[in-house]
Structure 1
């Protein structure tokens, strides 16, 4: 066991050291406005060159800095959370492989090496989702894998289209081939690939299903690695998003994702799934900001969101741990009295998620919504943005009502002891970052101060909507907790909203089941059917039939002789009649 703990400690120490290195490089590259592009030839054969290339700029270093800090906290947290795991070293190695795939994706300007990091994320995430090895985990892993496979196929198609240009380094093409027809096709394929990895509609159903993974994995996956890979890819390819048709399509789908996730989170009772749906809502926000042509702002929100979302998952993991693995928020309550430090971390991360002033989420969300007001968008998108902002406050206050303000509502006596100090140390590191990250990043990323002039009502609109969402969350939670649930009066509507607009059903029974059943039919009809009939199995049956007939003849069977003699006589008789 000590050996396993030493693996956790060494891994987290190494990642913290990597975080410090990336921090200094980030400052150096921002101050000197530097970009380093490295490449070397692996193979040169006739006219074909296979080149390995790496891109180092302030964005890649800053993203690696955040990934390494969150990973360091998560691995240190796993030392306590996964302490009863017999194969803890296998779990840590899988997580490290996951982090390496993400870092490889971050520093790759080459679409081939992007695919390697991208596929590494998909493969290792499948291994982590099915880590607990039960039927539910297997189903969730298969849904995650098949949904992400769509994006992998689209990236393979991008690779084949890029052969037309002679190289796979996308960084050279973005500046001078935007209006090319082939580049438009590539941009469409890249956008769909990014939408699958970042779980936008209609690929959203895999993200809550991936909650079957251990909670430390969820903290890592849903903050800075797997789900942000699609957003990061589109930030790098942001010049391809200049085509208006793709922009409008991405804006519509991402805004609907925000709305759907916000509504579904209010109907959900599983603690981890509520946080997963809030991740989905924030991913929709990042994608919609990208489609407005603001990649730096999307990156800013991606980084601030990563900090408080990792902290939120860690707090949820501690609560589930202390509740004897119960995740139903209806069976919790009064936690602030029993686990005050974890409750403190949970409340601050929730308030940062809501965009409460001067926490990390405020700086990015406030800026996003003010840019929405200043942009030339229609009333539908404006409504979806602000309504989704209100829904964020709605489900956050609902969650706090059930966990903190509700009465002690447990079915049996649970082991609510004082919190684990290993978990608390890792959570407090992220708590500090969740408070200060927003202001620090706003100084680093937006070094030139922009003044946004808005009328007073529009400037305070965010606070109005937040306050209204908080009041609605409080009132409806109070109605649901202390009396019968009023939502059950509209059963069909509740079913539609709580099942993410029936998207899991469409993804499993609709698309995946349909395609898998087509594959099954093809196997039955072609592999096991025609190809068997006209190859080995068919020849075997024919030889077998004739050998049985031959055996009857060799056994001197009188009936066969008589039958064949009669047939022969009839044939001769017909032949004589025909000839005459």
Structure 2
């Protein structure tokens, strides 16, 4: 156990120091408006160069700073959360590998090295999702990895297509691509790849399923690493994407994802899945504002969201531990009496998620909604943005009522323990960032002032929908038996909304199951069938048999010639008899 603690501390210390170093460099690069591209030539052979490139600018440095801060907190938190795990070293190594893959993706100006980080995220996430080895985890892991493979294939096709340009360093020629047919193809493939990684419709079902992973992994995955990889890729390719028609399709799909996740969260009773659906809703918000051309705003919301979402998952993990590993919110209640500091952290992170003024989420989400009001968008997009914001307040209020206000519902004999100070230390750091990171980033990222001039009612629209959402969430959580009967009357509709518009069923049975069956049939008929007989081993055995026969002939065996002479004589006699 001592060795386990030491690896936790070393990893935490290294990542925390790396975060401080990134912060210093980021401020220097931002003040001097610097971009640094480093190239390391690995091998040069004739006219072929294999070069490893690194892109360092303020955007990659601030993102690495946030990733290393969250991952250091998560590793410190895991020291207590995973204390009964025998193979804690293996878990920490997997988390570090996950963080390294994300760092590789962040600093890559080259589509090949982006693909290495991208695929690394997919592979390590599979290992972490199936960490608790049971059938539910295996199914969730398979759904996650199969969905992400689609994005990997898209990125491979982009690599093949960019060979036309003679280099995979995409940052140098996104401007050149604009007037080319390749632009349409590459932008379509990149948008599809980003949609799978960031779980947009119709690839949304893997994100709640990935909750089978340990809670520290969920805190890392759903805040700053795996799901944000797609958004970050689109931010990097934004110059290219804005001149294509695919971006309008992405706007519609991301708006629908935001809406669908908000509705599903209101029907969900699993604490971790509610937070996962909340992540899905926020990803839809980032993708949609990105597809409107505001890449700085999308990046700003990505960073602020990472802070309070990681904190939210950590609080959820602590509550699940205390509730005897139970995740159903109907069994919870009165948490504020038993774990006041964790409840404080959870309430603040939830309020930041809802965009309550002067917390981290307010600065980004309020700015996004005001820019949407300023833009010349149609009524559907306007409705999706504001209704989804109301739904965020709706499910947050419902969750807080179930957790904090209602009576404790688990069992009559229970052992509630005091709060764990190791977990609390890691949460306090993120709590401070959840409060101050919004104002800290808005002064730093946006050096130019945004002048947003709107009519009074449109300016207050955000507050209206937040108040309405909160009120409805309160009323829904206090439902009496009569209201429950009303829900039973609309059972089919409720089931449809709760199951994310039947997307998990479609992904599992309709897509993955059919493709896996097809793969099994191909393997049975081709790999183990025709190719078994007529390629590789099959040809080897056929040639081996023939070579044995030819070898007997080559040995000049007298018996062979005797037998052949006798056969020929018999044949001649039979022929003569037939002629007579």
Per-residue CA deviation, residues 370-419 of structure 1 (Å, 9 max, x unaligned), is 00001111000000000000000000000001101111111343321111
Match of 1:209 in 2: 209
Aligned partners of 1:94 and 1:124 also within 8 Å: yes
Tell me which residue corresponds to 1:332. Answer: 332
What is the CA-CA distance between 1:522 and the residue it aligns to? 1.4
Question: Unpaired runs of 5+ in structure 2?
Answer: 546-573
1:300 aligns with 2:300: yes
User: 1:263–1:497: 8 Å Cα contact kept in structure 2?
Assistant: yes
What are the equivalent positions in structure 2 for 1:86-485 lying under 5 Å apart?
86-479=86-479, 484=484
Show CA shifts across 1:81-115 (max 9, x none).
Answer: 00001111111111111111111110000000001
CA contact (8 A) 2:148 2:197 kept: yes
8 Å contact 1:322–1:414 — kept in the other structure? Answer: no
SS in 1 for 2:200: coil
Q: CA deviation at 1:23?
A: 0.8
List per-residue Cα deviations over 1:514-542 (Å, max 9, x = no partner). 111111121222233334566778999xx
- Structure 1 counterpart SS, 2:127: helix
State the 1:347 CA deviation. 0.4
* CA deviation after TM superposition for structure 1 residue 8, in Å: 0.8
Pairwise CA RMSD? 1.9
Residues 82, 47 of structure 1: CA spacing in aligned structure 2 closer, same or farther, 3 A cutoff?
same
In structure 2, the partner of 1:16 is 16
Q: State the alpha-carbon separation in 1 of the partners of residues 534 and 432 from structure 2.
A: 70
Post-superposition CA distance 1:236-257 (Å, at most 9, x none): 0111212341111100110010
State the 1:495 CA deviation. Answer: 1.0
Partner residue, 1:564: none
Answer whether contact 1:241 1:293 (CA < 8 A) is retained.
no
Q: Tell me the residue number matched to 1:41.
A: 41
**1:478-493 pair list within 5 angstroms:** 478-479=478-479, 484=484, 486-493=486-493
Counterpart-to-counterpart distance in 2, 1:480 and 1:296 = 45
Q: Is contact 2:191–2:234 with CA below 8 Å preserved after alignment?
A: yes
Q: Which residue of structure 2 aligns with residue 552 of structure 1?
A: none
- Once the two structures are TM-superposed, the CA of residue 286 in structure 1 deviates from its matched residue by 0.3
Structure 1 pair 480/205, CA: closer, same or farther in 2 (3 Å)?
A: farther
After superposition, the C-alpha distances for 1:254-307 in whole angstroms (9 at most, x for unaligned) are: 001001100000010000000000000000000001100011000000000000
Q: 1:480 to 1:69 in 2, by over 3 A?
A: farther
CA contact (8 A) 2:126 2:141 kept: yes
Alignment match, 1:58:
58
Secondary structure at the aligned position of 2:478 is classed as: helix
Contact preservation (8 Å) 1:184, 1:240: no
Q: What's the CA shift for 1:214? A: 0.4
Q: How much has 1:482 moved relative to structure 2?
A: 9.2
Residue pair 1:102, 1:121 contacting (<8 A) in 2 also:
yes
In structure 2, the residue corresponding to 1:174 is in which secondary structure?
Answer: coil
Structure 1 unpaired stretches of 5+: 544-571
Task: Identify if the C-alpha distance between structure 1 residues 51 and 533 changes in structure 2 by more than 3 Å, giving closer, same or farther.
Answer: closer
8 Å Cα contact 2:175-2:240 kept in structure 1: no
Counterpart Cα distance in 2 of 1:488 and 1:281: 26
State the alpha-carbon separation in 1 of the partners of residues 355 and 116 from structure 2.
36
Cα distance change of structure 1 residues 45 and 383 upon mapping to structure 2, 3 Å threshold: same
- 1:524 lines up with 2:527 in the alignment: no
CA contact (8 A) 2:187 2:244 kept: no
For the Cα contact (< 8 Å) 2:177–2:240, is it kept in 1? no
Aligned residues: 548
Aligned partners of 1:56 and 1:18: how far apart in 2? 15
**Residue in structure 2 matched with residue 80 of structure 1 by the alignment:** 80
Cα drift, residue 44 of structure 1: 1.9
Q: Provide closer, same or farther for how the CA distance between residues 481 and 333 of structure 1 changes in structure 2, counting only shifts above 3 A.
A: farther
* Superposition misfits of 4+ residues, deviation over 6 angstroms: 535-540
What's the TM-score once normalised by structure 1's chain length? 0.92
Distance, in Å, in 2 between the alignment partners of 1:512 and 1:131 is: 21
